[in-house]
Amino acid sequence: DTAVSQTPKYLVTQMGNDKSIKCEQNLGHDTMYWYKQDSKKFLKIMFSYNNKELIINETVPNRFSPKSPDKAHLNLHINSLELGDSAVYFCASSRGDGEAFFGQGTRLTVV
Amino acid sequence: AQSVTQPDIHITVSEGASLELRCNYSYGATPYLFWYVQSPGQGLQLLLKYFSGDTLVQGIKGFEAEFKRSQSSFNLRKPSVHWSDAAEYFCAVANSGTYKYIFGTGTRLKVLA
């Protein structure tokens, strides 16, 4: 049973499109995150939610909007996709003791 | 500002040899420190973590790390590397309140047969 699952695993889309990535965790954790990994493997936090409340919002374009319908889900919606958005996006969750569990990642390619 | 430095971008070792991956951090208080491993096309898996107490931490897959406050380091070690250890290794520091992880740039490990 997958702890943190993301869908889709791969996403290829054209510039200007709007797309969403879904994330679900079945670990009962209160905190969820979105991270972006660029082509050089650098991982950077984008957002963090705790019990559906936004607690971390890094300097991310407004085109990126996270939504947490409940504490087990944290989706990422991206408007007007640009070439520079191509990356691997990781969802993660944590129970508050510092250990984060990561999903398998969604490889987004904007063409 | 908090930061994590992994000075080695690539490391190549022979199977059976010992391994040490370096990690230095900059953080105002006592940090929470982590090592994660990422196999190709996979997510990140936690190898070990340090919050407090014994500065030598044991993790999974035979890895260990030592926290040295005086050197602001948290180096990862393994006495004998296996071919399956070839992967990308990330050191991270986290804020104890928000658990905002800051990752290093990673070290890619290659293992020679």
The answer to whether the CB atoms of B100 and A41 lie below 8 A apart is: no
Residue burial A86-110, b: 16+ Cβ < 10 Å; e: rest: bbbbbbbbbeeebbbbbbbbbbbeb
Q: Are B62 and B47 in contact (CB under 8 A)?
A: no
Q: What beta strand segments (E) does chain B contain?
A: 3-5, 10-14, 19-21, 24-26, 32-38, 44-50, 56-58, 64-68, 73-78, 87-94, 101-103, 107-112
User: Does A4 reach chain B within 8 Å, measured CB to CB?
Assistant: yes
From the list B49, B96, B108, which residue is nearest A99 (CB)?
A: B49
Q: What is the pLDDT of residue B31?
A: 82
> Looking at domain A4-110, which CATH architecture does it have?
Sandwich (2.60)
Chain A: nearest CA to B31, how far in angstroms? 11
pLDDT, tens digit (0-9, with 9 covering 90-100), for A23-70? 999 999 999 999 999 988 899 999 988 888 888 888 789 999 999 999
User: Does B3 reach chain A within 8 Å, measured CB to CB?
Assistant: no
Q: Are A100 and B90 in contact (CB under 8 A)?
A: no
Can you name the residues that pair with A5 across neighbouring β-strands? Answer: A24
| Set of chain A residues whose Cβ sits within 8 Å of the Cβ of B34 | 98-99
| Set of chain A residues whose Cβ sits within 8 Å of the Cβ of B98 | 48, 55-56
Number of domains forming the structure of chain B: 1
What is the secondary structure of B24-55 as a DSSP string? EEE-SSPPEEEEEEE-TT--EEEEEEE-SS-S
Residue range(s) defining the domain that contains residue B51: 3-112
Q: Where are the domains of chain A?
A: 4-110
pLDDT, tens digit (0-9, with 9 covering 90-100), for B41-81? 888 999 999 988 899 999 999 999 999 999 999 999 999 99
Between A13-22, A94-103, B81-90, the lowest mean confidence (pLDDT) is in A94-103
The answer to whether the CB atoms of B99 and A31 lie below 8 A apart is: yes
CATH number of domain containing B82: 2.60.40.10
| Set of chain A residues whose Cβ sits within 8 Å of the Cβ of B90 | 43
Comparing B75 with B100, which gets the higher pLDDT? B75
From the list A56, A92, A104, which residue is nearest B98 (CB)?
A: A56
